[in-house]
């Protein structure tokens, strides 16, 4: 099943920044030329965020004005990306510090060859996902990194404890060996990691493999809180840190030393120093590094070092 063509929708609030999360697996004959085209366009539109381009397609999250994001979307459609998985949300402040348009070998790094354009799991709408999760014979797997899982996940989901997506194939071999006949349902932030994870499982002989189309972001956009099986907030890779139902900015805060999402307990810990350390990283940096982080934080706060 392929995803349908989409058109940009207005942001869900009157927030000044529009954030677009997008990807599509599609052969790119000249990634460098596409990179140059999109970099020039994004600069002219004053966009920020990251676009990744590889021979297998495009992936990214970018932000800008409503008009700028619409112009980027229309350009991608004109370049042949007519079946993007594409979502918009709003942000109250600039969510990225700069613009990056980069060439990669993969638009999401699994590290083993799979064919998501040829073989993927069964896509489920958010409503179908709820119905599947209500069944007793389903193994639900969160394919995101463990720091993302910490901010929120689906009820009953297995956390593989990944530090990077490239660790997922080894986790499958160790923990899902013998489960080839079971129903496996997987999810991630926007859907792209599950394109590859479901392809991997099918390649390994699994038969009943499902994934949440559009990922957590689509689910939170479509499913009202009273019908939700989601717990917590969804970690996003921008200045908002987390979003909640309706894709409204959440309450998350990030450690700017290590990138770990912080709970209220973390913020109250003696190990937490804004911009310098948190319970996750306080013992992993030297005094000299912490001093440099303090200088950086003073700069961000508008003070003299």
Q: How far apart are CA 185 and CA 202, in angstroms?
A: 12
187 in Cβ contact with 231 (< 8 Å): no
Distant-in-sequence, close-in-space partners of 120: CB < 8 Å, separation ≥ 6: 1, 195, 198, 199, 202, 211
Closest CA to 148 of 214, 241, 230, 277: 241
Closest CA to 221 of 239, 237, 243: 243
72 in Cβ contact with 26 (< 8 Å): no
Q: Helix 168-175 crosses helix 192-203 at what angle (to 10 degrees)?
A: 40
Q: In what order do the strands lie in the sheet with 57-64?
A: 85-91, 17-25, 57-64, 48-54, 99-103
Count of CB atoms situated within 10 Å of the CB of 2: 10
Q: Catalytic residue among 188, 194, 278, 281, which?
A: 188
Closest CA to 140 of 128, 159, 165, 158: 158
The question of whether 188 is a catalytic residue gets the answer yes
Indicate which residues carry an active-site annotation. Answer: 188
């Amino acid at each position: 099943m392929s995803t349908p063509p989409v058109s940009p929708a207005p942001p869900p609030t009157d927030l000044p920044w529009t954030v677009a999360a997008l990807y599509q697996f599609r052969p790119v004959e000249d990634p460098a030329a596409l990179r140059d085209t999109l970099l020039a366009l994004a600069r002219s539109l004053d966009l920020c965020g990251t676009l990744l381009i590889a021979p297998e397609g495009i992936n990214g999250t970018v932000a800008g004005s409503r008009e700028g994001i619409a112009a980027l979307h229309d350009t991608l459609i004109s370049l042949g990306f007519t079946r993007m998985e594409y979502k918009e949300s709003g942000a109250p402040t600039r969510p990225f510090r700069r613009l990056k348009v980069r060439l990669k070998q993969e638009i999401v790094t699994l590290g083993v060859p799979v064919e998501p354009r040829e073989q993927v799991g069964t896509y489920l709408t958010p409503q179908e996902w709820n119905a599947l999760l209500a069944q007793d014979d389903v193994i639900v797997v969160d394919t995101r990194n463990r720091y993302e899982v910490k901010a929120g996940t689906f009820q009953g989901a297995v956390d593989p404890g990944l530090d990077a997506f490239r660790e997922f194939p080894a986790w499958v071999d160790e923990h899902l060996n013998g489960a080839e006949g079971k129903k496996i349902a997987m999810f991630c932030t926007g859907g792209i990691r599950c394109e590859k994870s479901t392809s991997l499982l099918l390649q390994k002989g699994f038969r009943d493999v499902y994934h949440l189309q559009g990922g957590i972001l689509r689910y939170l956009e479509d499913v009202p809180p009273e019908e939700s099986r989601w717990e917590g907030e969804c970690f996003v890779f921008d200045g908002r840190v987390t979003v909640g139902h309706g894709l409204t900015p959440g309450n998350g805060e990030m450690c700017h030393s290590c990138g770990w999402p912080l709970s209220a307990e973390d913020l109250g810990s003696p190990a937490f120093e804004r911009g310098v350390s948190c319970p996750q990283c306080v013992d992993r940096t030297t005094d000299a590094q912490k001093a440099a982080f303090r200088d950086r934080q003073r700069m961000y706060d508008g003070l003299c070092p």
